[in-house]
Amino acid sequence: MDDARFEPLPPSHGVRTLAGTEHTLANEVPLAITINGVNHAVMMVSPVQLDAFITGFLLSEGIIAHHRDIHDLEFSREHNALIAAVTLANRCHQPWLQQKRSLAGRSGCGICGLESLQAALPELPGLPETPLPDTHMLAGLRDQLRPWQPLNRDCGALHAAFFVDYQGNIHHASEDVGRHNALDKLLGWQHQQSERPEGMVLLTSRCSIELVQKMVRSHNPTLLTLSAPTQLAVEQARHYRLNLIHLPYQQSPRVYAASAHSQLK
């Protein structure tokens, strides 16, 4: 990152309502991503953990296989927008050009706007069978979440993704106005570690097919969500052997998809 040119934008702003009360609102900014000098996408993001977001976004889009495929990453600011200039390894550049698609900038659905069903529902390599976590341990996860969400605590309206070990301890969290972005930031953090941590991913948002695809592409076998999944997400999770578990409020965990029936102890 070129620190001499990059001026980060604040993740939140204080705003006064018409009634005269002061409130803190989350910041949402356009981030233009260029790959080897070619425009790729404009995403609306919360301006925090941006290097992890770029890594996770490129991984979950299938553009790179490892964070080392990014040879250089520079951020710059243009008024209230950010620009990320990515230099990819040659082995990733040509395949990316062949499947390049145009993304409309948004913080919502990651599939709407694709040009073909094949692009929206690609056939991905399945995950290896992974035992389900101990569902009794999962029941206490909600109580751990608040300290890991400082932006949501101050602003509200932000999604979060958490990395949880198999003993039920949270090790990292990412926040963003977009649920896909929050997951990409977490995946980027995971892949940037010197030794990739193994565990589970917990999302505060509903689970749709795009999030299942991101889990499969990043080789993460267990997804926990605070909101119920869609029917297509469940079908895809079962197809790819992704453990998919919903953690309802004040109710027992619901297992919608499982690749193996034994539980971790």
Burial call 65-98: b when 16+ CB within 10 Å, e when fewer: eebebbeebebbeeeeebbbbbebeeebbeebee
Looking at residue 193, its amino acid is Q
Active site residue 109: yes
CA-to-CA separations, 173 to 59, 147, 218, in angstroms, rounded:
18, 10, 17
Instruction: Give me the phi and psi of 255, to 5 degrees please.
Output: -90, 115
Packing angle, helices 179-192 and 209-217, rounded to 10: 10
Q: How many other C-beta atoms can be found within 10 angstroms of the C-beta atom of residue 190?
A: 25
5 dihedral zone (left: phi>0; alpha: psi -120 to 50; beta) = alpha
Set 109, 112, 155, 207: catalytic member: 109
Residue with tokens 């889990």: 215
Active centre residues (catalytic)? 109
